[in-house]
Chain A
Amino acid sequence: AQSVAQPEDQVNVAEGNPLTVKCTYSVSGNPYLFWYVQYPNRGLQFLLKYITGDNLVKGSYGFEAEFNKSQTSFHLKKPSALVSDSALYFCAVRVASGYSTLTFGKGTMLLVSP
Chain B
Amino acid sequence: SAVISQKPSRDICQRGTSLTIQCQVDSQVTMMFWYRQQPGQSLTLIATANQGSEATYESGFVIDKFPISRPNLTFSTLTVSNMSPEDSSIYLCSVVRDSSYEQYFGPGTRLTVT
Contact = CB atoms under 8 A, between A and B. Distances in A.
A46 B43 contact: no
B64 interface: no
Contacts of A46: 1, 102-105
A34 B103 contact: yes
B41 A43 contact: no
Contacts of A32: 101
Interface residues of A, number: 19
B43 A101 contact: no
Interface in B1-27: 1, 4
B92 A44 contact: yes
10 contacts: A34-B103, A43-B106, A43-B108, A44-B105, A46-B102, A46-B103, A46-B105, A102-B45, A104-B43, A107-B42
Interface of B: 1, 4, 33, 41-43, 45, 48, 58, 92, 101-108, 110
Interface of A: 32, 34, 36, 41-46, 49, 51, 90, 94, 101-102, 104-107
